[in-house]
């Protein structure tokens, strides 16, 4: 297991202290996901989805989410979700390979939220029987790349994109004291209940 991770269950926390609760969304809670995406700035939307996207595109995107093979893990600050990890199986049901995407709203970045979401995503992946998590982000998105590197990702560059493959630890994990980063990339999951910025499947 990567030395940045250790066995852990509980609230999302980092070397900077507890960053607040993360939990998986149920179907009736998907409007939280939609509202989060709608609040993302233009640049973050582009990083998340790979191009310019409209509000209608985001609403339609959330409307297509199928929780039988997708997990949406949200970081909440009060009553609003400010960060998301989206984890989606490569098959119609959960299998051993999944894709992930992340997004954190601008005001909530650099607080360790992205790292906390990654940790909880790997923990949920373990619970779902996922062995490999794939992640893609743009080559200039260094915050997200650092999070993947802390998870001991196997990395390559394809067509200007940073492509990472992360082997899911055999035990749920949590980050040990280390610098924490957050940014925009693509989807994940949680340890707190049933199971985002640019997905491979869009």
The pLDDT tens digits for 176-200 are 332 222 333 333 333 333 333 333 3
Report the predicted TM-score, pTM, of the whole model to 2 decimal places. Answer: 0.74
In a domain, 200, yes or no: no
Which residues does 64 contact at the CB level (< 8 Å), separation at least 6?
A: none
Which CATH number belongs to the domain containing residue 18 in this structure?
3.40.630.30
The answer to the question of residue 201 being in a domain is no
The pLDDT tens digits for 60-94 are 999 999 999 999 999 998 889 999 999 999 999 99
Per the structure, the complete domain to which residue 71 belongs is given by 5-175
Ranges of beta strands (E only) in the chain are 5-6, 12-14, 17-20, 22-24, 70-77, 80-89, 97-104, 132-138, 154-158, 161-167, 174-175
In a domain, 46, yes or no: yes
In a domain, 54, yes or no: yes
Q: Is residue 44 included in any domain, yes or no?
A: yes
Residue 183 belongs to some domain of the structure: no
Tell me if 33 is assigned to some domain.
Answer: yes
Whether 186 maps to a domain, the answer reads no
Task: Please name the residues in contact with 166: beta carbons below 8 A apart, sequence gap of 6 or more.
Answer: 122, 132, 133, 134, 135, 148, 151, 152, 153, 154
The structural domain count of the chain equals 1
């Amino acid at each position: 297991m990567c030395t940045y991770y250790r066995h852990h269950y509980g609230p999302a926390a980092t070397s900077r202290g507890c960053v607040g609760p993360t939990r998986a969304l149920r179907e009736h809670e998907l409007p939280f996901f939609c509202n989060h995406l709608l609040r993302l700035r233009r640049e973050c939307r582009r990083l998340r989805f790979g191009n310019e996207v409209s509000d209608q595109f985001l609403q339609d995107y959330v409307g297509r989410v199928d929780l039988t093979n997708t997990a949406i893990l949200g970081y909440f600050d009060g009553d609003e979700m400010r960060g998301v990890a989206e984890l989606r199986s490569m098959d119609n049901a959960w299998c051993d390979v999944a894709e992930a995407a992340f997004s954190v709203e601008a005001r909530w970045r650099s607080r360790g939220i992205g790292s906390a979401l990654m940790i909880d995503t790997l923990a949920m992946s373990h619970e779902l029987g996922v062995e490999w998590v794939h992640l893609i982000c743009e080559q200039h998105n260094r915050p997200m790349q650092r999070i993947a590197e802390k998870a001991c990702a196997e990395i390559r560059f394809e067509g200007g994109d940073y492509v990472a493959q992360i082997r899911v630890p055999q035990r749920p994990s949590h980050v040990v004291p280390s610098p924490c980063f957050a940014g925009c990339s693509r989807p994940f999951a949680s340890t707190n209940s049933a199971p985002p910025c640019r997905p491979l499947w869009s």
